[in-house]
Each structure stands twice: as structure tokens, then as C-alpha cells.
Amino acid sequence: MASITRDPRNNHVIIRAYAGVNPTTGKDRIISTTLPAEATVEEVEEAVAELDARAAVTKKHSSLMTVGAVVLYYLEICELSEMSPATLEPYRSYTRRHVVPRIGNVLFEQAEASTFSTFYRELRRPKEDGGAGLAASTVEKVHAMLSGCFNKLKADGLIDKNPLIGVKVPRGTAPEVSPLMPNDFSALVTYLKRTISKPVEDDAGFEAYMFAVLLWSDLNGGFRRGELAGFQLSHWGIRGGEWSFRVARVLIQVQDKKSGKPTTEKKPKSLKSKRVVSMDEQSAAIVNAYVSVMRMVLSDHGVAVGDKTPMFCHADGSELEPREITEKFGDIAYELKLAKGVHLHTLRHTHATYLIEHGATIKDIQERLGHASSQTTMDIYGHLLPGRDAETARTFAGIVEGMGEARTAPTIGGYAPKCPLSGKTCARFNNQEQG
């Protein structure tokens, strides 16, 4: 059991645990962690549990190694590695909220496939029936965490088995993406244009203006919220003759233990760490006008503007938190009475969906959105490309035609929906309308 003491110099909480003998030096191995003086009882208990977990696994004490101890140890070594905080944070949440309360005390040597099959069923069971009420996709993520944990520790020789072998995971179906419908699309664009056209008279007016330009950029560029929060002035400029944003910095909503900040940086999700997204002429004019206003507002607050100044910021120059962007859009969606379920990421889906309907290819969308592979893009938006299969059908029809007498094709009615903004027929229906 870990010991708890206080540092007489600053009253910090020092927790130490015996972790066996170092095989290299032959000396006792003591591991420790330090918490601030104001740490709560719950924080101290959690730190003790994590330290005991590390010690138990390191010593390979099967009588002490519970499923909870093994997973907590895994998360500790993940934190010391280069695992993304954006991945680690939900892993800690799954462990704290589901793994430890339900199967955390199960001895690891007694854990087997049925332990986890039952656990997954409990996670899927509705809350009113004693379960966690989780979606199948979330249970899949819990399984991915546990699978990574056991595979890693087994490879390191710290556990002798992977009890997940033979476990069937409840599979979920990814929901089909939902873009803004024409009425909502029009309502949002009208709101943004109206807000952008208003003169900035005070800090509140600037922040409303700033957020409208952010949403306009998102709608016309298809960015993730962390990319929007991470943009700096140097990321906006002319590249290849076009005004564009360069995605080189991303903010995520994870408490940084070192700095205490509620956000931390991560590398862009795309394999292309410096993705460039070109903007149309109207959007470029809107962003450039905004930058001029932003410089004047920050200057009035005594803020020096430079390359690292947040592109979208508060009137005092402070950067936006990703969660703040989501919440603010939620307020606007409520104000405009947009459809239930519309959220910030809907703008990204809207950008991709309308581009595809106007003739953009999967490769175009992949590069613009920054997906690591075209398969990812196809998995999300492939259902919007029925023409692929139609082309295949036409190919085979040509073969059949060559096998018999020519026949005149029947005349059928057409379908030519209009774009909610331009009022023109969508590109993929032009030929049909003309015919």
C-alpha cells in the first residue's frame, strides 16, 4: 500500500510505493508522485490507487493485480509516452466511469472472456435497467482501449494473457451524416451576412462579428473546431495565388497538467501536417476585412499583434477554447431555431455534402477536409455518390445493347433540384434538365 506524507517546505502531498527490485541495480525500486497542498481527498485516493496499480503490475503480484490496477497502470505509461491527450482523456473517463466501478476489483488472473462479454452487455443495457446506456460505438471504443492495454502489457511481459480473446463486441452502425437542410442553410447564411455587415462599436460587437466570420470560414472551409481554435495570423495568407488557411496547429479541450491550461496543442489530424485550404474571393474579402478590424480592436486593448496572435480571438486577444466555439454555435442554432441535432460539426458535413452534390470527387473532399485516407472520406460520404454504381450499370447496359437489336429508350420525367443559395440547378442534374 502506498504511503502518504507531507513535504514540510510547501505542504505538498507526497505519495510513495514500493515497486519491487530493480533487475539492473538489484536495489529497491520506489515510485512516487506529488500533488499540490490543496489536493482533495478524492484526488489523493485516486493518486494512491494509480501508484499502487503501477507497483502491483511492476512486481507482478497476481494477488494484487486487479483489472482496474492493470488498466490504471497502462494509462500511466501511456501518459508518459506520446499518446495524444485527445485519446488519453476519454480513456481515463471510460476507466473512471465504467471499468473501475463495474469490473475494477476483479482479479486479473481470474478475468476471462465472459467477464468482458458481460461487461459490454452491461454498458449497452439502458440506465433504467441498471446498465450504463452507452451507444454501441462507445462500447467499441472501450473495447479498443482495453485491447490496446492488454496487448501492450502482454508484449512487455507484465501480464501472461489477453482475456479479450474470444470476446464479441456489440457492433454499432455509424450514423449517416446530416448536412444543413436548405431552410436552415439559408437562415444561417442570412444571419452571418447580417452580423458581418454590422459596424463594430464595442467589445461585445467585435466578439459577435468575430464569431460570425469564424462560422463563415468554417462553412466555406469545412474545418474541425480544434483547427478553428488553433489558427494564428500566420496561418492566413496567399499561397499558390489564392487566399487560404494553413492547418498547422490544433487545440484540444484537455486540461494540460503541466501548464494548468484548459486546452493543449496537438498535431493536425491529417497526415499532411500543413494542409492548405483555399477560400473563395468573397470569403477572402470577409476574412481580410475582419483581420483589419481585429488588429484595431486588439491595439485599443494594448495587445501587440503578431504572427502568433490567435486568428479568432476575444477582444483582449485571448484565444478561444474549442468547447467555447461549440457552445456559442449551439446558442446561435437555438436562436435561429435550426433543426434539432444541428451542431458545429454539421457545418463541416454541409461543406462536403454540397460540394459532392455539385460535382466534387472523393479525392477533392479528402484533401480539403484533411482525411488521412480516401477510404475515410468514402466511409463518411460515399452514400452521396450513387453515380458510381450508375456508371457501372451503364457500362453493362452497353454490353447488353451490343448483343441484341437496338431499341429506343423510354422517355421518363426528370428531377432537377435547385441549390438553396444560387437558385441554379445542381451541376449533376444539368444534363437531365436539358434533356
Q: Is residue 167 part of a domain?
A: no
Q: Is residue 132 part of a domain?
A: yes
pLDDT band at 53 (very low <50, low <70, confident <90, very high): confident
| Residues 197, 130 share a domain | no
Q: Has residue 415 got a pLDDT over 50?
A: no
Q: Is residue 143 part of a domain?
A: yes
- The arithmetic mean of pLDDT across residues 341-354, rounded, is 93
More confidently predicted of 299 and 382 = 299
pLDDT at 426: 56
| Residues 297, 368 share a domain | yes
pLDDT at 271: 44
pLDDT at 290: 96
pLDDT band at 435 (very low <50, low <70, confident <90, very high): very low
Domain range spanning residue 400?
A: 386-434
Q: Is residue 174 part of a domain?
A: no
Q: For 3-26, what is each residue's pLDDT tens digit? A: 888 988 899 999 888 777 666 677
| Residues 324, 197 share a domain | yes
Q: Has residue 272 got a pLDDT over 90?
A: no
Decide which of 347, 367, 383 is a domain's last residue: 383
| Residues 367, 268 share a domain | yes
Q: Has residue 402 got a pLDDT over 70?
A: no
| Residues 378, 424 share a domain | no
Q: Is residue 166 part of a domain?
A: no
Do the beta carbons of residue 150 and residue 158 sit within 8 Å? no
| Residues 57, 150 share a domain | yes
| Residues 344, 222 share a domain | yes
| Residues 404, 378 share a domain | no
242-247 β-sheet, strand order: 236-239, 242-247, 275-278
Q: Is residue 165 part of a domain?
A: no
Does this model's pTM top 0.85? My answer is no
Decide which of 155, 172, 205 is a domain's last residue: 155
Domains in the chain: how many in total?
Answer: 3
- The arithmetic mean of pLDDT across residues 83-94, rounded, is 82
Q: Is residue 270 part of a domain?
A: yes
| Residues 307, 371 share a domain | yes
pLDDT band at 66 (very low <50, low <70, confident <90, very high): confident
Check which CATH number belongs to the domain holding 232 and give it: 1.10.443.10
| Residues 189, 149 share a domain | no
Q: Is residue 22 part of a domain?
A: yes
pLDDT band at 359 (very low <50, low <70, confident <90, very high): confident
SS3 per-residue string spanning the chain: CCEEEECCCCCCEEEEEEEEECCCCCCEEEEEEEECCCCCHHHHHHHHHHHHHHHHHHHCCCCCCEHHHHHHHHHHHHHHCCCCHHHHHHHHHHHHHHHHHHHCCCEHHHCCHHHHHHHHHHHHCCHHHCCCCCCHHHHHHHHHHHHHHHHHHHHCCCCCCCCCCCCCCCCCCCCCCCCCCHHHHHHHHHHHHHHHHCCCCCHHHHHHHHHHHHHHHHHHHCCCHHHHHHCEHHHEEEECCEEEEEECCEEECCCCCCCCCCCEEECCCCCCCCEEEECCHHHHHHHHHHHHHHHHHHHHCCCCCCCCCECCECCCCCECCHHHHHHHHHHHHHHCCCCCCCCHHHHHHHHHHHHHHCCCCHHHHHHHHCCCCHHHHHHHHHHHCCHHHHHHHHHHHHHHHCCCCCCCCCCCCCCCCECCCCCCECHHHHHHHHC
| Residues 367, 227 share a domain | yes
| Residues 136, 267 share a domain | no
Decide which of 115, 136, 155 is a domain's last residue: 155
Q: For 278-331, what is each residue's pLDDT tens digit? A: 999 999 999 999 999 999 999 999 999 999 999 999 999 999 999 999 999 999
